[in-house]
Protein backbone atom coordinates (compact mmCIF):
# COMPACT_ATOMS: atom_id res chain seq x y z
CA UNK A 1 0.00 0.00 0.00
CA UNK A 2 1.36 3.42 -0.99
CA UNK A 3 0.97 6.17 1.56
CA UNK A 4 0.86 9.84 0.54
CA UNK A 5 2.47 12.43 2.81
CA UNK A 6 0.00 14.08 5.22
CA UNK A 7 0.32 17.61 3.68
CA UNK A 8 -0.55 16.22 0.23
CA UNK A 9 -3.60 14.40 1.64
CA UNK A 10 -4.75 17.60 3.36
CA UNK A 11 -4.31 19.65 0.17
CA UNK A 12 -6.27 17.11 -1.86
CA UNK A 13 -9.06 17.07 0.74
CA UNK A 14 -9.34 20.88 0.63
CA UNK A 15 -9.33 20.87 -3.19
CA UNK A 16 -12.09 18.25 -3.26
CA UNK A 17 -14.19 20.16 -0.74
CA UNK A 18 -13.86 23.50 -2.55
CA UNK A 19 -14.23 22.05 -6.04
CA UNK A 20 -16.95 19.66 -4.98
CA UNK A 21 -19.11 22.37 -3.44
CA UNK A 22 -18.98 24.37 -6.66
CA UNK A 23 -19.93 21.34 -8.71
CA UNK A 24 -22.50 19.98 -6.26
CA UNK A 25 -25.01 22.76 -5.91
CA UNK A 26 -23.33 25.95 -4.79
CA UNK A 27 -25.15 28.50 -6.90
CA UNK A 28 -24.72 32.10 -7.85
CA UNK A 29 -27.08 34.58 -6.21
CA UNK A 30 -30.23 35.25 -8.24
CA UNK A 31 -30.07 38.17 -10.69
CA UNK A 32 -31.06 41.61 -9.45
CA UNK A 33 -32.34 44.69 -11.25
CA UNK A 34 -29.86 47.52 -11.64
CA UNK A 35 -30.11 49.80 -8.61
CA UNK A 36 -32.19 47.29 -6.63
CA UNK A 37 -31.42 45.04 -3.69
CA UNK A 38 -34.27 42.61 -4.30
CA UNK A 39 -33.82 39.34 -6.16
CA UNK A 40 -35.75 39.08 -9.41
CA UNK A 41 -38.89 36.97 -9.60
CA UNK A 42 -39.30 34.42 -12.39
CA UNK A 43 -41.35 35.41 -15.43
CA UNK A 44 -44.02 32.82 -14.67
CA UNK A 45 -47.73 32.44 -15.53
CA UNK A 46 -48.81 35.17 -13.07
CA UNK A 47 -46.20 37.59 -14.45
CA UNK A 48 -47.26 36.87 -18.05
CA UNK A 49 -50.79 38.01 -17.20
CA UNK A 50 -49.87 41.13 -15.26
CA UNK A 51 -46.83 42.29 -17.25
CA UNK A 52 -47.99 41.07 -20.64
CA UNK A 53 -45.84 43.22 -22.97
CA UNK A 54 -48.98 44.87 -24.27
CA UNK A 55 -50.22 48.30 -25.29
CA UNK A 56 -53.89 48.73 -24.51
CA UNK A 57 -55.79 49.55 -27.72
CA UNK A 58 -57.54 52.48 -25.96
CA UNK A 59 -54.10 54.02 -25.33
CA UNK A 60 -53.68 54.56 -29.09
CA UNK A 61 -57.32 55.44 -29.80
CA UNK A 62 -58.43 52.00 -31.00
CA UNK A 63 -61.56 51.52 -28.95
CA UNK A 64 -65.18 51.86 -29.91
CA UNK A 65 -66.56 51.81 -26.40
CA UNK A 66 -65.80 53.92 -23.35
CA UNK A 67 -64.90 51.22 -20.87
CA UNK A 68 -63.73 52.38 -17.48
CA UNK A 69 -60.21 51.47 -16.36
CA UNK A 70 -61.82 50.44 -13.06
CA UNK A 71 -62.93 47.33 -14.93
CA UNK A 72 -59.30 46.28 -15.48
CA UNK A 73 -58.85 43.64 -12.79
CA UNK A 74 -55.05 43.72 -13.18
CA UNK A 75 -54.54 47.49 -12.92
CA UNK A 76 -54.17 47.48 -9.12
CA UNK A 77 -51.82 44.47 -9.25
CA UNK A 78 -49.61 46.21 -11.83
CA UNK A 79 -49.52 49.38 -9.73
CA UNK A 80 -48.42 47.49 -6.63
CA UNK A 81 -45.94 45.04 -8.19
CA UNK A 82 -44.19 47.15 -10.85
CA UNK A 83 -40.63 48.39 -10.38
CA UNK A 84 -41.67 51.61 -12.13
CA UNK A 85 -45.15 53.12 -12.42
CA UNK A 86 -45.07 56.43 -14.25
CA UNK A 87 -46.06 58.38 -17.28
CA UNK A 88 -43.75 57.30 -20.07
CA UNK A 89 -42.99 58.80 -23.46
CA UNK A 90 -41.82 56.79 -26.46
CA UNK A 91 -38.74 58.60 -27.76
CA UNK A 92 -37.55 56.10 -30.36
CA UNK A 93 -39.01 53.28 -32.42
CA UNK A 94 -36.61 50.98 -34.27
CA UNK A 95 -37.26 47.70 -36.04
CA UNK A 96 -34.98 44.70 -36.52
CA UNK A 97 -36.15 42.49 -39.36
CA UNK A 98 -35.02 38.96 -40.10
CA UNK A 99 -36.89 37.59 -43.08
CA UNK A 100 -40.55 38.41 -42.55
CA UNK A 101 -40.17 38.58 -38.75
CA UNK A 102 -39.71 41.95 -37.05
CA UNK A 103 -38.82 42.94 -33.50
CA UNK A 104 -39.79 46.45 -32.44
CA UNK A 105 -37.63 48.35 -29.95
CA UNK A 106 -39.38 51.19 -28.12
CA UNK A 107 -37.02 53.57 -26.33
CA UNK A 108 -39.02 55.12 -23.49
CA UNK A 109 -38.31 57.88 -21.01
CA UNK A 110 -39.87 57.90 -17.53
CA UNK A 111 -41.79 61.06 -16.66
CA UNK A 112 -41.44 62.90 -13.38
CA UNK A 113 -42.91 62.66 -10.82
CA UNK A 114 -43.61 58.90 -10.95
CA UNK A 115 -47.03 57.67 -9.83
CA UNK A 116 -45.40 55.33 -7.26
CA UNK A 117 -42.00 55.27 -5.59
CA UNK A 118 -39.65 53.56 -8.09
CA UNK A 119 -37.93 50.37 -6.95
CA UNK A 120 -35.06 50.86 -9.45
CA UNK A 121 -32.95 53.85 -10.46
CA UNK A 122 -33.44 53.54 -14.24
CA UNK A 123 -35.07 56.53 -15.98
CA UNK A 124 -35.09 55.06 -19.50
CA UNK A 125 -35.93 51.59 -20.81
CA UNK A 126 -36.00 49.70 -24.08
CA UNK A 127 -39.21 47.73 -24.50
CA UNK A 128 -39.14 44.82 -26.94
CA UNK A 129 -42.15 43.80 -28.99
CA UNK A 130 -41.63 40.39 -30.58
CA UNK A 131 -44.04 38.69 -33.01
CA UNK A 132 -45.38 36.70 -30.02
CA UNK A 133 -46.06 39.86 -27.95
CA UNK A 134 -49.66 41.01 -27.48
CA UNK A 135 -48.63 44.50 -28.63
CA UNK A 136 -47.24 43.26 -31.95
CA UNK A 137 -50.36 44.16 -33.96
CA UNK A 138 -50.38 47.70 -32.59
CA UNK A 139 -46.63 48.11 -33.17
CA UNK A 140 -46.97 46.87 -36.74
CA UNK A 141 -49.98 49.13 -37.46
CA UNK A 142 -48.54 52.28 -35.85
CA UNK A 143 -44.79 51.70 -36.35
CA UNK A 144 -42.96 55.05 -36.16
CA UNK A 145 -46.20 56.88 -35.29
CA UNK A 146 -45.75 55.49 -31.74
CA UNK A 147 -42.87 57.97 -31.33
CA UNK A 148 -43.94 60.86 -29.11
CA UNK A 149 -46.97 59.11 -27.62
CA UNK A 150 -47.36 59.00 -23.83
CA UNK A 151 -48.77 56.22 -21.69
CA UNK A 152 -48.97 55.19 -18.08
CA UNK A 153 -46.35 52.47 -17.96
CA UNK A 154 -45.87 49.56 -15.61
CA UNK A 155 -42.39 48.03 -15.87
CA UNK A 156 -40.84 45.19 -13.90
CA UNK A 157 -37.58 43.24 -14.05
CA UNK A 158 -37.80 39.42 -14.06
CA UNK A 159 -35.63 36.36 -14.52
CA UNK A 160 -36.36 34.80 -17.91
CA UNK A 161 -36.62 31.03 -18.44
CA UNK A 162 -33.03 31.18 -19.71
CA UNK A 163 -31.88 32.49 -16.32
CA UNK A 164 -31.04 35.91 -17.79
CA UNK A 165 -32.62 39.12 -16.44
CA UNK A 166 -35.19 40.87 -18.61
CA UNK A 167 -37.98 43.42 -18.37
CA UNK A 168 -41.67 43.06 -19.05
CA UNK A 169 -44.26 45.78 -19.12
CA UNK A 170 -47.77 47.02 -19.80
CA UNK A 171 -48.79 50.40 -21.27
CA UNK A 172 -52.18 51.90 -20.34
CA UNK A 173 -53.85 55.09 -21.57
CA UNK A 174 -52.35 58.28 -20.15
CA UNK A 175 -55.56 59.59 -18.64
CA UNK A 176 -56.45 61.28 -15.38
CA UNK A 177 -58.76 58.36 -14.51
CA UNK A 178 -56.02 55.72 -14.89
CA UNK A 179 -53.58 57.90 -12.90
CA UNK A 180 -56.16 58.33 -10.11
CA UNK A 181 -56.80 54.58 -9.89
CA UNK A 182 -53.06 53.92 -9.75
CA UNK A 183 -52.56 56.49 -6.99
CA UNK A 184 -55.47 54.97 -5.00
CA UNK A 185 -54.03 51.46 -5.37
CA UNK A 186 -50.56 52.61 -4.29
CA UNK A 187 -51.94 54.52 -1.27
CA UNK A 188 -54.05 51.54 -0.17
CA UNK A 189 -51.09 49.21 -0.71
CA UNK A 190 -48.90 51.39 1.50
CA UNK A 191 -51.57 51.45 4.23
CA UNK A 192 -51.92 47.67 4.24
CA UNK A 193 -48.16 46.98 4.11
CA UNK A 194 -46.73 45.41 7.29
Q: Has residue 71 been placed in a domain?
A: yes
pLDDT tens figures, 14-52 = 343 334 434 444 455 455 555 455 689 999 999 999 999
Q: How many CB atoms lie within 10 A of CB 128?
A: 17
Residue 183 covered by a domain: yes
Domain count, the chain: 1
Question: Per-residue pLDDT tens for 92-150?
Answer: 999 999 888 899 999 999 998 999 999 999 999 999 999 999 999 999 999 999 999 99
Task: Categorise residue 53: left if φ over 0, alpha if ψ from -120 to 50, beta otherwise.
Answer: left
pLDDT in tens, 51-76: 999 999 999 998 767 677 887 889 99
Q: Does some domain include residue 65?
A: yes
Q: State the Cα–Cα distance between residues 156 and 67, nearest whole angstrom.
A: 26
* Greatest pairwise CA separation for the chain in angstroms: 89
**Is 17 inside any structural domain?**
no
The whole domain housing 95 covers 31-192
Enter the pTM of the model.
Answer: 0.79
**pLDDT value at residue 100:** 84
Q: Which residues pair with 101 in a beta bridge?
A: 98
Does the residue 72 lie in any domain?
yes
Amino acid sequence: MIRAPAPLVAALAVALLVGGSAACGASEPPPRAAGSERALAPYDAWARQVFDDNIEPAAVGLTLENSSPRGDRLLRERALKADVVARVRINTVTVDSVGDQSIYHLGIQIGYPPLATPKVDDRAFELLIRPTSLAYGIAKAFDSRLRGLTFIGFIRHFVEETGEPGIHWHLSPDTAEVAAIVREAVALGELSAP
